Amino acid sequence: MKGRFSSLAIKHWFIRVMFCFDMDSLDEMVDEAALRDEVRDAMMSHVNQHGKNPVESAVISTFNETGYDLANVRSKLDAVRHLRKTEKDWDSFFRDLGVDPLMQLEEHKEVRVVPKFAAAMVLNMRARFGNLPNNEANRLLIEREYLRVCREGFVRDCDIVAHSQCVYNAFFSEGVLDQLATVRVRAPRWLREAFGNVPRAAAVVC
């Protein structure tokens, strides 16, 4: 109810004047909140293709599903169009690349943020570095790692920049995969005691 009341209140012109923000700012907040929700949902989904890491799988999956080209997959296809191959060779090529040869390619000229790619990147770095506290040293570490993974995956420059802040935000603030395991940290003490607790003991030989 708190969230619903707040969303209704800030749409009233008087409230917007009092707090000095306009509808454009509100629209951007709504879009940003929706993007965070989409990244959160994508973090809880498996995107896997045989022989590819999660980031590559997200790139190929996005290309196959939407035609949006994060890593110049289209250029790889254009580079081999003139080659003569047997049907078996072509099948092997498309299987290794992970692209559906029958899909209809569409040209996307506008840069977009792909939640599936951002989520895959966050999970890739979380699996490598774990949960790091948000400080300047760790932000620099994650930024370097993000840029390294993108360069090695041939991600387009415009998409590297477009996804960077979204990835950093999710890496340091998104805890959807820890939500159940950390519920006792957020719950009040009386609720924790109501469900009981087994004290942790040091490992001993017995």
What is the tens place of the pLDDT at every residue in 45-64? 876 655 578 898 888 888 87
Q: Does residue 173 have a pLDDT over 70?
A: yes
Would you list the DSSP string of the chain? -HHHHHHHHTTSHHHHHHTT--HHHHHHHHHHHHHHHHHHHHHTS----TT--HHHHHHHHHHHHH---SS-HHHHHHHHTTS---HHHHHHHHHHHT--TT-------S----HHHHHHHHHHHHHHH-S---SHHHHHHHHHHHHHHHHHTT--HHHHHHHHHHHHHHHHH--GGGTTTTHHHHS-HHHHHHT--PPP------
Query: Taking the complete model, does pTM exceed 0.85, yes or no?
Result: no
Q: Does residue 19 have a pLDDT over 80?
A: no
Cβ 117 vs Cβ 42: under 8 Å = no
Q: Which residue has the higher pLDDT, 8 or 114?
A: 114
Lowest average pLDDT, out of 60-74, 78-92, 170-184, goes to 78-92
Q: Which residue has the higher pLDDT, 125 or 48?
A: 125
The pLDDT value recorded for residue 161 is: 96
What is the tens place of the pLDDT at every residue in 96-106? 556 665 555 55
Q: Which residue has the higher pLDDT, 9 or 69?
A: 69
Q: Where are the domains of the chain?
A: 31-174
The pLDDT value recorded for residue 83 is: 58
Q: What share of the chain in percent tops pLDDT 70?
A: 65
The pLDDT value recorded for residue 180 is: 86
Q: Does residue 39 have a pLDDT over 80?
A: yes
The pLDDT value recorded for residue 171 is: 96
